[in-house]
Amino acid sequence: MFTGLVTDVGEVVEVSGDDRLRRIRIRSAYDPATIALGASIACSGPCLTAVAVERVAGGCIFAVDAAAETLALTTVGTWGEGTRVNLERSLKIGDELGGHLVTGHVDGRAEIVARDAVTGGEGDPQWAPSDRFTLRAPKALAGFIARKGSVCLDGTSLTVNTVADDLFSVLLIPHTLAVTTWGQRRAGDALNLEVDLIARYAARLTEARETLAL
């Protein structure tokens, strides 16, 4: 389990393999002594398993394997040398849950439709300019996204600002733009989308009840 709070931005240094299985090596500032083989690391959303780790100056390079389903369902299949990825280590018992419960099981890909600067609020001394991202969710997932609900995009826990059919928006503060890959995001980019876990199970429970009632 994860929280959607990014703790490092890694960089892909090598990709090998094919569409059935791909090995991806990622440079990170994580201490290699803290990464056990088999550990789960959320890499821009998908939960991937560390299969190798080596110490390098400033941190480590760890390797993960991505199978066919992950390559097809997420953006992992498009990664190449130089791709920057949001990283989060898995939760430990007792850790602060600062975002929301995230499984690292990506449901699909959302597309950025627009990025706009939010310019209101200058009268408030605490105000800082933010960016609004409008995204399009896959039709099958749109019903799981609710205003003021939680959503995980590229491994980042965010609050949904508005919803209209399959379009929804999120607001990114300057800090998040600076410490994640969001600062580089533009219209047309695809992002890994994980809907809220509670919404997913609530929908399944409703479906099961309707089926049993027939």
Q: Where are the beta strands (DSSP E) in the chain?
A: 8-17, 21-28, 40-43, 47-56, 59-67, 84-89, 108-118, 130-136, 150-153, 156-164, 167-172, 190-195
Given 7, 40, 90, 103, which residue is catalytic? 40
Is 40 catalytic? The answer is: yes
Q: Which of 7, 49, 90, 103 is catalytic?
A: 49
Q: Which single residue is written with the structure tokens 């409703």? A: 206
- Residues whose CB is less than 8 angstroms from the CB of residue 7 and which lie 6 or more positions away in sequence, other chains included: 87, 88, 89
Q: Which one of the listed residues 42, 47, 60, 63 is annotated catalytic? A: 47
Neighbours of 202 (CB within 10 A): 12
- Does residue 213 have an active-site annotation? no
Catalytic residue, from 90, 103, 105, 142: name it.
105
Handedness of CA 155, 158, 164, 165 (dihedral sign): positive
Q: Who contacts 15 (Cβ-Cβ below 8 Å, separation ≥6)? A: 22, 23, 24, 25, 79, 80, 81
Known catalytic membership, residue 3: no
| Residue 47 is among the residues annotated as catalytic for this protein | yes
Q: Catalytic one among 159, 162, 202, 203?
A: 159
Query: d(Cα 23, Cα 15) in Å, to the nearest integer?
Result: 6
- The residue annotated as part of the active site, out of 7, 39, 67, 103, is 67
140 catalytic per annotation: no
Residues with catalytic function: 2, 40, 47, 49, 67, 105, 159
